[in-house]
């Protein structure tokens, strides 16, 4: 039975493992060097109650995570967040990403955000499909802004504005 819940520091090792796997194998993130436990602790601490981190837990195992992070340190952007969504490769295609995305988008509204941005690299069709299905709209593309595995890549910007 899958449970979606707030992450705790005890989940950090599993969250990091899933993220580091995506760093070395995918273009979902333009990080290229795996994160250290210290960096991840800082990342976790930076997310106060207004910027949630959720995990999906299946039979005691963390199999995915989603977060809303500050879009910018400039105060005027404080009602805007950026979404991250990662499911363990072995558990993809079973509806976990959708459940995490639904939950984190709902959480964003609950904590009073106005809008959420997703930056999605070209070729990430499942991610684009999922975001559009929960109300994100394509608002533009940044051409050749990322380079990974020796290739220049476009990044699509998707946005959801909450109903007020």
Ligand X SMILES: CC(C)(COP(=O)(O)OP(=O)(O)OC[C@H]1O[C@@H](n2cnc3c(N)ncnc32)[C@H](O)[C@@H]1OP(=O)(O)O)[C@@H](O)C(=O)NCCC(=O)NCCS
Q: Give the footprint of ligand X on this chain (CB under 6 A).
A: 22, 26, 28, 85-87, 92-98, 118, 120, 124-127, 129-130, 133
Give me the least distance between CB of 64 and ligand X, in Å please: 6
| φ, ψ (nearest 5 deg) of residue 64 | -175, 165
C-alpha to C-alpha distance for 76 and 53, rounded to whole angstroms: 22
Toward ligand X, which CB reaches closer, 23 or 164? 23
C-alpha to C-alpha distance for 107 and 11, rounded to whole angstroms: 19
Toward ligand X, which CB reaches closer, 92 or 115? 92
Give me the least distance between CB of 75 and ligand X, in Å please: 25
Toward ligand X, which CB reaches closer, 12 or 120? 120
| φ, ψ (nearest 5 deg) of residue 136 | -80, 145
Give me the least distance between CB of 152 and ligand X, in Å please: 18
Toward ligand X, which CB reaches closer, 12 or 156? 156
Give me the least distance between CB of 96 and ligand X, in Å please: 4
């Amino acid at each position: 039975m899958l449970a979606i819940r707030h992450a705790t520091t005890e989940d950090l090792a599993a969250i990091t493992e899933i993220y580091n796997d995506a760093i070395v194998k995918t273009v979902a993130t333009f990080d290229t060097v795996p994160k250290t436990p210290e960096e991840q602790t800082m990342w976790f601490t930076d997310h106060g109650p207004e910027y949630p981190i959720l995990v999906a837990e299946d039979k005691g195992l963390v199999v995915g995570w989603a977060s809303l992070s500050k879009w910018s340190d400039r105060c005027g952007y404080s009602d805007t967040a950026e979404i991250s969504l990662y499911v363990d490769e072995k558990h993809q295609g079973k509806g976990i990403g959708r459940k995490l995305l639904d939950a984190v988008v709902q959480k964003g509204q609950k904590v009073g955000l106005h809008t959420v941005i997703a930056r999605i690299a070209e070729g990430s069709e499942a991610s684009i499909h999922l975001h559009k299905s929960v109300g994100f709209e394509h608002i533009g593309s940044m051409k050749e802004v990322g380079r990974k595995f020796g290739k220049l890549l476009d990044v699509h910007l998707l946005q959801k504005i909450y109903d007020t």
